[in-house]
Homo-oligomer: A and B are copies of this chain.
Amino acid sequence: MKTITVLLLAILSVSVPAQTAPPLMGFSAESSARQRELESKFDSVLKADNLRDWMKRLSARPHHVGSEHGKANAEFMASLFRSWGYDTRIERFDILFPTPKTRLLEMTAPEKFTAKLAEPALEEDATSGQKSEQLPSYNAYSADGDVSGDLVFVNYGIPDDYEELEKLGIDVKGKIVIAKYGGSWRGIKPKVAAEKGAIGCIIYSDPRDDGYFQGDVYPKGAYRREDGVQRGSVQGMPLYPGDPLTPGVGAVADAKRLKVEEAPTIMKIPVLPISYSDALPLLKNLEGPVAPPSWRGGLPVTYHTGGTGNVKVRLKLEFNWDIKPAYNVIAMMKGAELPDQWIMRGNHHDAWVNGAADPISGMVALLEEARAVGELAKTGWKPKRTIVYAAWDAEEPGLIGSVEWVETHAEELRKKLAVYINTDSNGRGFLGVGGSHTLEKFVNQVAKDVPDPQLKMSVWERRKAALMVNGNAETRKEVASRADLRIDALGSGSDYTPFLQHLGVASLNMGFGGESGGGSYHSAYDSFDHYTRFGDTDFAYGVTLAKVAGRTTLRLANADVLPFEFGNFADTVGQYVKEVTKLADSMREETKYMNRLIESGALKAAEDPRETFVVPKPKVEVPYLNFAPLQNALSKLEESAKRYEAAGRPLTLSPSVRASLDEILFRSERSLTSSSGLPGRDWFRHQIYAPGFYTGYGVKTLPGVREAIEQRDWKLAAEQIEKVAKVIESFAAEIERASSMVNGQ
């Protein structure tokens, strides 16, 4: 318990003043002092009012991709960047963006009901009535269709849920499913439903997960009201994100395009999101088995699975399958010493409707950060490395703006781009960071230097306090004993994906949250009024985000040597290796146990014989896998990380050697990719981090190995272990090269 005391007392210590502070990672003592001075100037330039004013303007009207206001926003931001001294251009891509022509959902039996599919204008919300410009509630890249059939409630609509339904004797073939939002990224639900033979998919926001169960609903409180709907894309992003018609290449004017019918990431069945007031009459009428306890939501009904034929619904959807222009804003400030080493910062600017929180709350922090960097540059300072700011369009339909840009400029980016730093939405509360663990130690140092705007401590200390109070036993123990707070691994859901997972660029994603809960996500109520009442109301955390992301950018841009560190990465990969090993072991035990319950009849005997219970078939037993290649590769990685740590003082090297060292360091992340990508989805090249094929946003680490195990493909798992082991070994070899260079060999 000793360590805990010490660390807890550390929480309350005030930040060390710049002169006595330890040197920054990648900086010498002198350059550290200069950098801290620069950051102090940077901080003093930041103004919360700018964030407020820009949010008001950017979210004044709906600004989805292809909208007038969206284009105007891009042009406005470009003019701002230019005024701050950036070399700025708007890059246009022409991309497939379907919008609804017909939306009909009706119940024809046992009673007649037509879903309203509308979010009413509210007096308390000035922009909620902009009906002519709003995108109605829909799921982009749903199929066209006019389907009628029985309704089945499938919980979150993930594969496990269908296993439960099978046991209950319910199938969805030829039927329409209704799934709750949550439990996976939304696009998984219709994908799995279609795989199981369903002909249509309805997704609704259950009030237990996203509504009155969580807190008072809008406009009394922040949470989703009964008629609020979550819009969103359902394109097959786990296969490849971006424009469905131009996989792997930029959607420039003359790009070769697939036909809409050929695009594999367009959903195969019609899908529609609805509110809980529209879902209630449907769910109330369902019969059949009572849904398992964990499936039941917050509506005042008994949740049944349906699928018994008594509820018939019709879902009719037609879309305009239009090509729309997407406008990325790219603003560069050339590096004075290493112009071909780029540090990039991005946030998207398109929204589903007015998008004050998503994405404008992050966008305005980026703008203010860029303005402050511009102010510094006006005093004569220039970054060593090139800084690039980006405002992405068309993120909402499928990360399209960033993906197309990355695919267009892939060759140059592979050479030059050192780090990509993403933000998206921002709120009040605690710092959250995800990204490449080679930057974990660095980002911990950054977070220790930024004060929390509400309490007298750093954002790092506040985050640590939250983990110590709310973490489970394992987290508490780790937080007390580990020097750095862990950052999350990145799955998908924002614009870091093409950089990290397609290109192999070390990336970070950051934002604040936890105290600005609410349910405006992807609805017409994600507005300036909502955000300034319930979000980061005084933009104090917007300014703080500018400080964290700005410091991250400035330190990376100015460092004497890029502050990559490999001990934390090796520690993290070590965790992942343990996880996949344990996964196989626990699946083996569980499979053996379940098969015996099945074969002995115990599984059946534990069920009520008056209820339908279909005993599942025994599964093939889990073989022992040879994890040795992975474990050996991990050993090499650990050794190489230690060697680099011990490799003395890269800061004393000559500038040209340091530049070469930088390149080895930042390109090391490339060696974590494989050009053949992940099984069945070669767009995703990173072998350590990927969005799950059946989670969508949720990360799968060591994805090739982990997903092969999860899908019980033992041959593939063995192959993937070899493949990932080689990738880790080649990464370790790069670190060895870096160490040799530092040691002058």
- A-side interface residues toward B, CB under 8 Å? 1, 4-5, 8-9, 11-12, 207, 212-217, 221, 223, 290, 296, 298-302, 428-429, 454-455, 457, 461-462, 464-466, 468-470, 476, 514-515, 589, 592-593, 596-597, 599-603, 605-606, 608-610
Q: Does A302 contact B221, Cβ atoms closer than 8 Å?
A: yes
Q: Does B461 contact A302, Cβ atoms closer than 8 Å?
A: no
Q: Which residues of B contact A454 (CB under 8 A)?
A: 609
Task: From B5, B296, B601, give the contact of A596 (CB < 8 A).
Answer: B5
Q: Does A457 contact B605, Cβ atoms closer than 8 Å?
A: yes
Q: Does A11 contact B605, Cβ atoms closer than 8 Å?
A: yes
Q: Which residues of B contact A302 (CB under 8 A)?
A: 212-217, 221, 223
Q: Does B469 contact A597, Cβ atoms closer than 8 Å?
A: yes
30 pairs, CB–CB < 8 Å, chain A vs chain B: A1-B592, A4-B593, A4-B596, A5-B596, A8-B596, A8-B597, A11-B602, A12-B601, A212-B300, A212-B301, A212-B302, A213-B296, A213-B302, A214-B302, A216-B290, A216-B302, A217-B302, A223-B302, A299-B300, A300-B300, A457-B605, A462-B606, A465-B597, A465-B603, A465-B606, A466-B605, A466-B606, A469-B603, A514-B608, A515-B610
Bound-state Cα–Cα, A215 to B304, Å: 9
Task: From B9, B290, B428, B600, give the contact of A600 (CB < 8 A).
Answer: B9
Bound-state Cα–Cα, A468 to B594, Å: 10
Shortest CB–CB separation between residue A472 and chain B, in angstroms?
13
Bound-state Cα–Cα, A207 to B301, Å: 9
Bound-state Cα–Cα, A213 to B291, Å: 10
Q: Which residues of B contact A300 (CB under 8 A)?
A: 207, 212, 298-300
Q: Which residues of B contact A606 (CB under 8 A)?
A: 462, 465-466, 468-470
Bound-state Cα–Cα, A296 to B216, Å: 13
Q: Which residues of B contact A461 (CB under 8 A)?
A: 605
Q: Which residues of B contact A464 (CB under 8 A)?
A: 602
Bound-state Cα–Cα, A455 to B302, Å: 29
Which single residue of chain B is at the shortest CB-CB distance from A8? Answer: B600
The 8 closest A-B pairs by CB, nearest first: A8-B600, A465-B605, A469-B606, A465-B602, A466-B606, A515-B608, A300-B300, A465-B606
Q: Which residues of B contact A217 (CB under 8 A)?
A: 302
Bound-state Cα–Cα, A123 to B124, Å: 48
Q: Which residues of B contact A609 (CB under 8 A)?
A: 454-455
Q: Does A429 contact B608, Cβ atoms closer than 8 Å?
A: yes
Q: Does B593 contact A476, Cβ atoms closer than 8 Å?
A: yes
Bound-state Cα–Cα, A1 to B589, Å: 9
Bound-state Cα–Cα, A213 to B302, Å: 5
Shortest CB–CB separation between residue A94 and chain B, in angstroms?
45
Which residue of A5, A9, A602 has the most chain B CB atoms within 10 A of its CB atom?
Answer: A602
Which single residue of chain B is at the shortest CB-CB distance from A429? Answer: B608
Q: Which residues of B contact A605 (CB under 8 A)?
A: 11, 455, 457, 461-462, 465-466
Q: Which residues of B contact A1 (CB under 8 A)?
A: 589, 592-593
Q: Which residues of B contact A290 (CB under 8 A)?
A: 215-216
Bound-state Cα–Cα, A4 to B595, Å: 11
Which single residue of chain B is at the shortest CB-CB distance from A454? Answer: B609
Q: Which residues of B contact A608 (CB under 8 A)?
A: 428-429, 514-515
Shortest CB–CB separation between residue A157 and chain B, in angstroms?
21
Q: Which residues of B contact A596 (CB under 8 A)?
A: 4-5, 8
Q: Which residues of B contact A216 (CB under 8 A)?
A: 290, 302
Q: Does A602 contact B515, Cβ atoms closer than 8 Å?
A: no
Bound-state Cα–Cα, A454 to B602, Å: 14
